[in-house]
Chain A
Amino acid sequence: MIGTRPDIAFAVSAVSQHSSNPGPALWTAVRRIFRYLAGTQTFDILYGSGYRGGYTDADWGAGEDRKSIGGYAFMMNGGAVSWASRKQGSVALSSTEAEYMALTQGVKESLWLGELLEGLGALKHGKEIRKVQCDNQAAIAVTKNPEYHADTKHIDIQYHFIREHVNSGGIVLFYCPTHAMTADIFTKLLPRPQFEKHVLGLGLGPGPSTETEAGQEAGGKNCAGMIRGEAVC
């Protein structure tokens, strides 16, 4: 389901970590994903108009081994084009550090997408995809504050990497409050209202039924009253 379903990315990555020793609890979790898919079979990503740019988020120390989970999503014209949900490689000592590591992954993807789009002749889009939102003020402040001294080398290098791109104007960071942080869906299990809100934020929703042509933009709204793909910040 890697092609069109970012909504299950976190759940799939969580169960995949146990695939080498699957127990009954794992099968229950996998069945739960299937039951969710069964109710959302027609979901598709809708590209049309809407937000262009990225979101990154992290959940500090969420893994069983206390490693943090990081995630990002990049949107083009209201639909997600690139996303990831990954357990971070090393243990973060603070939530800022975890957000920072997630931001590094996001910035790398953002640079790649920006260059790809510029290569395709879409200069405006290439610039917009380099706007990245993050819900941690401290992590954003750190990129602008030359006083910051990291204690560990891996953070130090990531710090210099992001700072270089922020200073040169290649990457623009924005603060985004947590309730509007679409990438939250890649870092933890969310209760239904937030989950549905972020699903819409990714441009996902029930597709046009087979009888009506794609012309009928059926059901773009859900209980949260949001139109999918709209910018939430």
Chain B
Amino acid sequence: MLAHLEEPQTLSHALVSEESKEWYAASESEVDSLVRNDTWELALLPAGREAIGCRWLFRRKDDGRYKARLVAKAYSQREGLDYTEAFAPVAKFNSLRSLLALVCENDSELDGMDVKTAFLYSDLEETVYMEIPEGLHTEVQRNNSGERVVCRLIKSIYGLKQSPRAWYGKRNHFFLANGFQRSKQDHRVYIHKFFKLILLLYVDDLVITSPSLEDVAWVQNCLHEEFEMTNLGPLTGFRGMAIKRNRPVRTLHLTQHKYTTIILERHGISTCALVSTPAGPHTRLLKSPITHPTDPNILQQYQ
């Protein structure tokens, strides 16, 4: 098993690691996707502008897949120049849980869909220049007169501050055009006017519920025409929560068992000396009179 190995931090590390073949294939598939979607064009960097950085992210998925993703370094983006609006809503967990309670009561279908490289599909409004990614360095880093050659982004890319917003706008438009109404209470919940369909979106995850399998198939076909998506079949999890249904008796269990186990392992909590309440009834936490500095490394993990 290689699961204990750290994931590589850079492309060059990935390509000399034990799993170089897998990482190479993964990054090639990402480059393919970027090129196929016309994500950028090569351009000269105008005077006064700076190119934002980018890096590779490598992830081993639970199901054994290897994923490479090119992300922009958003911290180098300057407001007003590289981005203007960045807010994008995500579905509230309250709405998800309410929806799940309804689904199990009505014994509705509950399907998941996942978008391949979600952000590549939205056009970028601002002009953003990005460095040529590691691994794609061409001979022409500078032209004859010494100006730098960079990527001018046409589509938004992971990591850009405005990417989630651009993606949100694009999908919102698509759903409204296909006869959905957006819930006033949660802007990531859509209800179809004629079909009995309810959708819930969380960035690149999509939950579809409907009493009818045909209606689910209809919306899946619509989506496949517009976006590159994968049908996940009956939903078994969402954002780290596991969903277990027992349809004959109409019950649904929602748990974070796995996540809890990971957190406990990370902090080295053994399963002896268990307690039955999260705090003793007379515990009182008072402000500490002395300052306790926090380890900056730990602080960074939670920011």
Contact = CB atoms under 8 A, between A and B. Distances in A.
Contact of A44 (B102, B255, B261, B279): B255
Contacts of B279: 11, 14, 29, 32-33, 36, 189
A207 B257 contact: yes
Give the size range of A's interface with the partner. 35 or more
Interface string A182-218: 0000000111100110000000000110000111010
Main secondary structure of the interface of A (DSSP, over half): mixed
B277 A195 contact: yes
Interface of A: 1-5, 7-8, 10-12, 14-15, 17-18, 21-26, 29, 31-39, 41-49, 64, 76-77, 79-82, 112-113, 115-117, 119-122, 125, 189-192, 195-196, 207-208, 213-215, 217
A63 B101 CA distance: 34
Interface of B: 93-95, 97-102, 104-105, 183-186, 189, 191, 196, 198, 239-242, 244-246, 248-257, 259-261, 263-264, 267, 269-271, 273-283, 285-288, 290-292, 294
A2 B183 CA distance: 23
B191 A119 contact: yes
Given A21-B292, A43-B257, A116-B95, 20 more contacts: A3-B240, A4-B241, A14-B279, A14-B285, A22-B292, A25-B288, A34-B269, A43-B255, A44-B255, A45-B97, A45-B255, A46-B251, A47-B100, A47-B101, A47-B105, A49-B250, A82-B94, A120-B189, A191-B277, A207-B253
A42 B101 CA distance: 19
Given A48-B251, A79-B97, A190-B277, A39 B271 contact: yes
B252 A46 contact: yes
B139 to A, nearest CB: 50
A42 B257 contact: yes
Contact of A48 (B104, B261, B274, B292): B104
Best-buried of B246, B253, B290 by chain A (most CB within 10 Å): B253
B280 A116 contact: no
Nearest 9 A/B pairs, CB to CB: A44-B255, A39-B274, A76-B101, A48-B251, A11-B278, A81-B97, A214-B244, A116-B185, A23-B288
Contacts of A2: 93
A217 B274 CA distance: 24
